[in-house]
Structure formats: structure tokens, C-alpha cells
Amino acid sequence: MNYIGENLLSREFDNGLKAYVIPKKNFNKVYAVYSTKYGSIDNEFVVPTTGERLKVPEGIAHFLEHKMFEMPYGNVFDKYAELGASSNAYTNYTNTTYLFSTTSSFEECMRLLLEFVETPYFTEESVEKEKGIITQELRMYEDDPEWQVMLNLLRAMYHRHPVRDDIGGTVESIQNIDVDALYKCYDTFYHPSNMVIFVAGAVDADRVFEIIGEWENKRGKLPQGEIIRTYPEEPDTVNKPRIDVKMSVSRPLFLMGFKDNDVGYDGIELLQKEIITNILLEIIFGKSSLTYEKLYEEGLIDDRFSFGYEGQKGYGFCTIGGETKDPEKLKDMLVTSIDEAKEGGLKEEDFERVRKKYLGDYIQGFNSLEFIANSFVSYYHRNVNIFDYPKVLKRITFEEAERRLREFFDFDRMAVSTVYPK
Amino acid sequence: MDRLFKRKTLDNGINLYIHSTDKFKTVTVCAFIHQNLDKNTATRTALLPFVLKRGSHKFPSSRYISLCLEELYGADFGADIIKKGERQIIQFFIEMVNSRYTASEDKILDEGLALFKDVILNPLTEGPAFKKDFVEQEKDVLKRNIEALFNDKFNYAIERCFQEMCKGEPFSVYKYGSVSDLPEIKSEDLYDFYKMIIKSRPMDIFVLGEVDEGQIYEKLNNLFSNERREEKIAGTVVVKEVEREKFVEEKQDVNQGKLSLGFRTGTRYGDEDFYALMVFNSVFGGGPHSKLFQNVREKESLAYYAFSRLEKSKGLMLASCGIDFDKLEKTIEIIKEQLDDIKEGRISDYEFESSKKSIINSYKEAEDSPAMIISLYLDGIINGVEESIQEIIEKIRNVTKEDVVKVAQKVKLDTIYFLNKM
């Protein structure tokens, strides 16, 4: 797809692992990720090798991510530092991703990524020690009002789905994590068939595939079938219409969400739904909307006001909100603007203008290797090719947006979360 | 000397820096207006970018600005304040998609530049004053921005440490000024202040992207043709001595203690030993290879994050970590030990080499980001240093362990700040 002047090359290896490369020859940097479709929501599953049905403690995917950096010879961070590169990882609801970025010694860095992600090494002592570090990480988030307001919104929207739990688990839940559970999770979800490698930057694609191929052929892994994951039955309704808490903040934080019931699929249909929903949010609440102008002039929001739609196969929701002096009034005005949009309809010129903006944002994203890699992986695990984005953006219609507006913004599936000052 | 940017001067004395490259999908234009950081003018200066981005003659409200930006394929536009040393800089930026990728005939660059100019030079006025509503609303927005720091305990603990450490020095002034100055600011006086700033303060414009140098010079010379009479502004004062170590404790309702240590390094960007100081900082707390990370986090499990960073222009270093409340003494002791170790030459080859490589890597990575390239060159302008990224890397390579030990002798602990629970 040369539309934006980029090429995507791919290779599938015998054990089921897939790798993708976008070469950017005039960049200094290479950014590489190794990602598994395994996140904080995957707590109930069948271990493929034994058939054992397992329920593991909340926060274990994130805990595992931390422990992967430990090798029999020491710490992986140190190895990357010796190479002059930096490495990191993140865990979200649906995937765990390991990454490095470097401007030299790419081949060593790449082999190290393969080596450490494919080498689980957990000892009782190191697992106990990690509990101390992760406890401090969780404490840090406890003092982060933006994180708390989001967590509470998810708890309000969802009765049982694990998206309502903190990605890192709780200080209590992580105490139950042990070496045995970590290995079982690793063996299940870190199989090549469940993973993907993506590299962008100053590299030669064939050389990347060669390095990976040599490495993977030595592993002796065979392709594995689909992993059976179980999620609790989630009712259509919201759990609670609102959750309010008090924290040490200067001003209230407010977040409104709508729970999507049109779920259960991924792929290009999911991408289409995501784009349409985001365009709707932009038309109704974006900076060019009358609603935004009114809220801003009344001092109810500032330019940190934000909104977005998160769509996965098993769940979907949007969030709208920010810091405000009057959460009740903000809520009422947001509700009114949705009502007005539903009753009065949308303007086609707004739809076309926002479509243009989204195309530009997409192109602009290709300035950043991090953005390319993280979007690629996030879409990949949802069976979407990121290069299909402009095509879908172009083909969606105003009528589809109007239909989605009426179906998605159902006030029976709305919840709000507020953090008030103490 | 291989300078990335071609420097030119507009007819009215504004400095123009152009870097023509097809590396990025966008054209980025930044304007910087330099002002001394001074408690008597900081709040008024901070208010200017907020008021200006509310509307101009051609775009009489933020909404009209946004409508235009969306038509220009979602060009990014913003105005804010940055603080570098004892300078308070008003920053405007616009980043536009290169029209070659939009498959359209749109004159994105021309229209974007016209908007950029109009917002900076043709503010919406009512008689000899800014539009009063804008000023009053933005005073409230700025007040909230100043107070928002309180919600962000991570940055709050860093800013408060600097404030306590530099009491009585201009550097202690917050980049957005002070809430107590806001009530007396009137739109007439602010407009006079604006005219004085625009006329007399040094101004730099950067252009980065696929542009024709001659054409872009002509365009900007025509757009920015306002009459100016530039005045010199003061430099940053570097205090080298510490009379006595201070300890400041503050209590809030928090779940994690935030510890910040402020040091005087006696060395600033432009000094010969600055490159040794960069390596010193990297060994001390500049990444996972550093003594702080290895000892405070990995060895003692006291913190999830522990790092140090430099303030280039003011000759300061700040170390920060989030810890359990009862681990204060122990953590301080360990941090002090790390500094003593460096002063006594206990730097391993691993620490030393990783530090140099890590700094070099980050400079090379910076060359892949338009915003980072511009920020580094701006640092050079402020500190009177003219050097390319390649030259910086060469100087880092030449730093020896002895240089690091020598520069470490100048580093003195000034203030310990601790955010404790109630």
C-alpha cells in the first residue's frame, strides 16, 4: 500500500509465529515489539497441554510481564543498556507487549528480544521480591485520580467482565501469585501461534526475517490450536449508574461512559464500528462542536477534556469527560447534546470534515515509530490490518453514522464516575 | 559544521530556522517568544498564549480555528508556555500533513501558515483591549492549570522541591505564574503588555519538513512583517554553593510517599564539563543501568520508579522516587551513598559504558522526532551553544571516567523534599 509511502512486509514461520516489518530507511532508530494476545482479562482458560481448566489471580499477566525481564544470567534491562538500547513492556486488558528501541546493534537487540521473551525464568525468591515493586506501582496508581476515575467507570459499567478489574490486580490479589501459576500462564499464552513480532525503522526486512527464522527453527515448537478462554456472562445493563469517590484533588474529575452491546466480533467490522463511533464523538463533543464551545465558555471543561471509544471483541465502551467544577451540570449538558444530536440529526458537512481530520491524523501517525508499532499490534490482535484504515474511513457512510448514533448512545447503558475533592 | 537548520533573519529581525527534509509526513512550524522568568510578569506572560488561541480577526473563536484545522486534514495547533532555566518562553506550533499524502490539491501549508500568523499577530480585540470574555475565561483556565499540578503528585513533588530549593531566585517561579496575580489582570493592560512583548522580545521561528527554503522564507517574511525593536534579555544565574542542606516535608492525603532531592551541579549547558555532567547524571539516575534504579529499585525493592534528571540551563539535578512512608531515612541514605560512590570513583565499566551509550542513543532517537529536534536546537539558542547533534555525540564519546568523577565533586545536595501522608 503506497498510499502513504510505506511498505508492510510479512513472513510466517513454521511454528506459527508471524512477523511484520515496515522499513523506514531515513530514520536512525529501530523500534521492535514482540507481543502476545494475553492481557489482564484472560484469567480463566484451559491449559492446552494438559486440558486443565484454570482460574488465576487478577494481575498475573502484568506480574508475568515484570518477571520476563529476569534471566538466569541476570536482568535484561542491563543487557539492553550494555548495547546502548532501551527496552520496556506494557500490559493492557488484552495484550502484553515487549519492546526495544535502538540506534545501533540492531541484530543483537533483536536476538535478545527473542531470547528473553522466549525464556521464562521464575524463582520463588524473585517472585516474592517483585511483589514489593508491584505493590509500589499499584500504590502509585491509587494516588492517580485519572486512573481511579476510569477504573470506577469500568466498575460501574460492568458487572462481571474482568475489564472492570485493575490491569495490575490488587495488592491482595498479587500475593496469591506463585511460580507454578506463572509458568502455566506463560506456557499457554506465550506460544508462537498466539504472538506477533513487528519491527519498524532503519532495517532491511529480509534480514529481520532471517534472524527470526534462524532463531525460531531452533526452538522445536509446533503450532498450537486456538486457546480456550472463558469470560463470565456479562448482562446488557450497567452494573451501577454511578460511582462517586473522594480523593486528594483540587477539582472534581468526571467521566461518562456508554457500554456497547454490539460486541462479539473483530476484524474489519470492528474497525468500521470504531471509526464511526469516534467520528460521532468528534462531531458531538470535538473542539469544532457547539457543545464544546458552550462547555468551555461556561468554565465546565478545559482543553484536557477528552473522549474516545475502546472496542474489543468481547467488550466496547466510550468515555467522555475531564476535570470540571460542576460534574452534575457537565453531565446534564452532555446528555442534552446527545439528545439533540439524536433528535435533530447530524450535519453531513461535519461528517465529511471530521473524516478529513481522521485521514490526516492517520497519516501524521506515521511520523512516529512508536505510534506505528503500538497501533499495528493493537489492531493485529483484533484481526485488523492497520493499512485497511484509510479504505474503511473512505467507505463508511453518513447514514451508517446516523444509525450508530441512535443505537449506541442508549441512556440505559450509560454510567458516570466522579472523583470529588475531600 | 553540519548544522541541520539553515538560519536566516526576516526583515524585522525575527530569526528563522529552516530544515528541509522529506523524512516526515508533516511540515512543523514553531514560534518561540523569549521572556525573562520574573515573578512580576510571569502570570501575565503565561496568560498570553491562552488568550491568543481563543481567537483572531479572521478566526473569531476557538471553534473557527478548529473548523479550519479540521479542513486542513486535522492540522495540530497549539500555544503554551515552556520554562527553560530562567526563561519563560511562549510557544506556538502548527503541524500540517504534507499535501502529497492527502491526494488532494489543498493548499494546506499556505492556509495553515495564514492561520498561524493571524493567531499570533492579529488577536481579536475590543477597542484597545483583548476581548474581555476571552481574558476572563482564560484567567480561570490558567488558574485551573496552576492548581492541576496538585492532582499530579509525581510532578508536584518535583516542582515543590525546585521551589523550596530556589526560594528567592527567579527559577522558583512556576511556568504559569501564580493564582494570586490573576484577579488584577485587566484586558486593556494585558493587550498593552502583549504589544510590548511582540515588539521587543526575541523571537525564533522553526520550519521542519518538505519545504522549499526560498519560498518558505518569502512566505514568512510577508506574513511576519510587524514592526519590531528587539531588546536583549538576561541570562540564567547558576548558583554553585549550598549554605546548608534543607529538609522540607509536606503532608497530604496520599497512599505513597514522594521523595525529591534537589542538587546544585555548578555546571550548565555551554560549560566545558557539561558533557561529563550528562554522563554523571546517567550513571547516577539516568535509566535502568543507573545506580538509583539498580539500588533503590532492583536491590532494595523500595520504589517502582527512581531516577534523576538535569535542568540544563540552571545547573540543577533532581532525583525522585515514590516510596513507602516508613522508608524515608533508608532511601535517603541509599541515594546519598550512590552519589558518594561516584565521587570516590566507584563507577563500574558497565555503568559508565551504558551511560554513554544511552545518552548517544537518545540523541540519535531525537533526530527521528520533529518536536525533539526543534527542542534541542532551542536549548542551544538559549544557552548560546551552536553545535549539531553529531558534535554533541562526539563530545559524549570523549568523556572519561576521570571527567565524571571530577564533575561529581561539584554536585551538592541542597534540598530534600518529602510528600508524606497526613
With contacts defined as CB-CB under 8 Å, which chain B residues touch A106?
A: none
CA angle B362, B364, B370 (to 5 degrees): 95
Is residue B10 located within the same domain as residue B128? yes
Is residue B28 located within the same domain as residue B150? yes
> What pLDDT is stored for residue A2 in this prediction?
46
> Which residues pair with residue A319 across a beta bridge?
A257, A308
- In a mutational test of the B interface, the residue from A86, A127, A143, A148 whose CB has the highest number of chain B CBs within 10 Å is A143
Cα distances (Å, whole numbers) of residue A413 to A235, A271, A316, A398, A404: 11, 22, 12, 24, 14
Rounded Cα–Cα distance for residues B73 and B96 (Å): 8
Q: Do B102 and A361 touch (CB under 8 A)?
A: no
Judged by average pLDDT, the poorest of A49-53, A405-409, B164-168, B190-194 is: A49-53
Cross-chain CB nearest to B70 (options A133, A248, A356): A356
Q: Do A140 and B148 touch (CB under 8 A)?
A: no
With contacts defined as CB-CB under 8 Å, which chain A residues touch B356?
A: 84
> What pLDDT is stored for residue B235 in this prediction?
87
Residue B162 within a domain: yes
With contacts defined as CB-CB under 8 Å, which chain A residues touch B353?
A: 82
> What pLDDT is stored for residue B105 in this prediction?
67
With contacts defined as CB-CB under 8 Å, which chain B residues touch A288?
A: 63, 66-67, 70
Is residue B10 located within the same domain as residue B151? yes
Rounded Cα–Cα distance for residues A388 and A394 (Å): 10
The residue with cell 494570586 is B180
Closest CA to B321 of B337, B304, B333: B304
Give A417 to chain B, closest Cα distance, Å. Answer: 17
Q: Do A288 and B369 touch (CB under 8 A)?
A: no
Q: Do A133 and B26 touch (CB under 8 A)?
A: no
Is residue B190 located within the same domain as residue B252? no
Q: Which of residues 237-276 of A touch B (CB under 8 A)?
A: 247-251, 253
Q: Does A26 reach chain B within 8 Å, measured CB to CB?
A: yes
Give A422 to chain B, closest Cα distance, Å. Answer: 9
Q: Which of residues 392-421 of B touch A (CB under 8 A)?
A: none
Q: Do B304 and A422 touch (CB under 8 A)?
A: no
Cross-chain CB nearest to A250 (options B24, B151, B254): B151
Q: Do A357 and B369 touch (CB under 8 A)?
A: no
- List, in order, residues 6 or more apart from A185 with CB less than 8 Å away: A38, A56, A60, A61, A64
Nearest residue in A to B324, CA atom = A136
Does ipTM exceed 0.95? no
Residues of A annotated as catalytic (active site), given as ranges: 65
Q: Do B287 and A134 touch (CB under 8 A)?
A: no
Nearest residue in A to B209, CA atom = A367
3-class secondary-structure state, position B114: helix
Q: Do A356 and B297 touch (CB under 8 A)?
A: no
Give A2 to chain B, closest Cα distance, Å. Answer: 10
Is residue B342 located within the same domain as residue B398? yes
**What is the length of chain A?**
422
Sheet holding A242-247, edge to edge: A242-247, A414-421, A253-259, A316-323, A306-311
Number of domains in chain B: 2
Q: Do A81 and B357 touch (CB under 8 A)?
A: yes
Residue B1 within a domain: no
One DSSP character per residue, B63-90 reads HHHHHHHHHTTS-EEEEEEEEETTEEEE
> What pLDDT is stored for residue B16 in this prediction?
97
Helix or strand run (H / E) with residue A221: none
8 A C-beta contact, residue A79 and residue A85 = no
* pLDDT at residue A3 is higher than 70: no
Cross-chain CB nearest to A363 (options B25, B364, B370): B25
Q: Does B82 reach chain A within 8 Å, measured CB to CB?
A: no
Is residue B142 located within the same domain as residue B189? yes
Is residue B175 located within the same domain as residue B307? no
Q: Do B63 and A292 touch (CB under 8 A)?
A: yes
Q: Do A84 and B74 touch (CB under 8 A)?
A: no
C-alpha cell at B379: 536549548
Range of the domain at B59: 6-223
Residue, of A382 and A47, whose pLDDT is higher: A382
Residue B229 within a domain: no
Rounded Cα–Cα distance for residues B257 and B178 (Å): 26
**Domains along chain A with CATH numbers:** 9-217 (3.30.830.10), 242-421 (3.30.830.10)
Helix or strand run (H / E) with residue A97: strand A96-102
* pLDDT at residue A1 is higher than 70: no
- In a mutational test of the A interface, the residue from B109, B208, B293, B361 whose CB has the highest number of chain A CBs within 10 Å is B361
Q: Do A84 and B354 touch (CB under 8 A)?
A: yes
* pLDDT at residue A220 is higher than 90: no
**Residue A36, class by beta-carbon neighbours within 10 Å (0-12 exposed, 13-18 middle, 19+ buried)?**
buried
Burial readout A117-144 (b: 16 or more C-beta within 10 A, e: otherwise):
bbebebeeeebebbeebbbbbbbbbbbb
pLDDT by residue, tens only, chain B of 422 residues: 347 899 999 999 999 999 999 999 999 999 999 999 999 999 999 999 999 999 999 999 999 999 999 999 999 999 999 999 999 999 999 999 998 888 776 689 999 999 999 999 999 999 999 999 999 999 999 999 999 888 888 999 999 999 999 999 999 999 999 999 999 999 999 999 999 999 999 999 999 999 999 999 999 999 999 999 999 898 899 998 898 999 999 999 888 999 999 999 999 999 999 999 999 999 999 998 999 999 988 888 888 889 999 999 999 999 999 998 999 999 999 999 999 999 999 999 999 999 999 999 999 999 999 999 999 999 999 999 989 899 999 999 999 999 999 999 999 999 999 999 99
Residue B237 within a domain: no
Q: Does A102 reach chain B within 8 Å, measured CB to CB?
A: yes
Cross-chain CB nearest to A29 (options B101, B102, B364): B364
> What pLDDT is stored for residue B99 in this prediction?
87
With contacts defined as CB-CB under 8 Å, which chain B residues touch A4?
A: 25, 101
Cross-chain CB nearest to B322 (options A140, A249, A299): A140
Residue B302 within a domain: yes
Cross-chain CB nearest to B148 (options A82, A250, A367): A250
Last residue within a domain, chosen from B223, B238, B273: B223
Residue B362 within a domain: yes
Is residue B212 located within the same domain as residue B261? no
Is residue B250 located within the same domain as residue B168? no
Q: Which amino acid is at A180?
A: D
Q: Does A5 reach chain B within 8 Å, measured CB to CB?
A: yes
Last residue within a domain, chosen from B169, B188, B223: B223
Q: Which of residues 245-304 of B touch A (CB under 8 A)?
A: 252-256, 287-289, 293, 297-298, 301-304
* pLDDT tens profile A21-45: 999 999 999 999 999 999 999 999 9
CATH code: domain of residue B219: 3.30.830.10
Give B184 to chain A, closest Cα distance, Å. Answer: 19
Query: What mean pLDDT, rounded, does chain A reach?
Result: 95
Cα distances (Å, whole numbers) of residue B332 to A137, A203, B399, B418: 20, 44, 29, 10
Residue B400 within a domain: yes
Q: Which of residues 369-398 of A touch B (CB under 8 A)?
A: 369
With contacts defined as CB-CB under 8 Å, which chain A residues touch B296?
A: none
Cross-chain CB nearest to B147 (options A102, A251, A296): A251
Is residue B263 located within the same domain as residue B408? yes
> What pLDDT is stored for residue B97 in this prediction?
95
Q: Does B325 reach chain A within 8 Å, measured CB to CB?
A: no
Is residue B219 located within the same domain as residue B250? no
Q: Do A361 and B74 touch (CB under 8 A)?
A: yes
Q: Do A299 and B137 touch (CB under 8 A)?
A: yes
Is residue B24 located within the same domain as residue B139? yes
Q: Which of residues 96-155 of B touch A (CB under 8 A)?
A: 97, 101-103, 133, 137, 140-141, 144-145, 147-148, 150-151, 153-154
Q: Do B73 and A143 touch (CB under 8 A)?
A: no
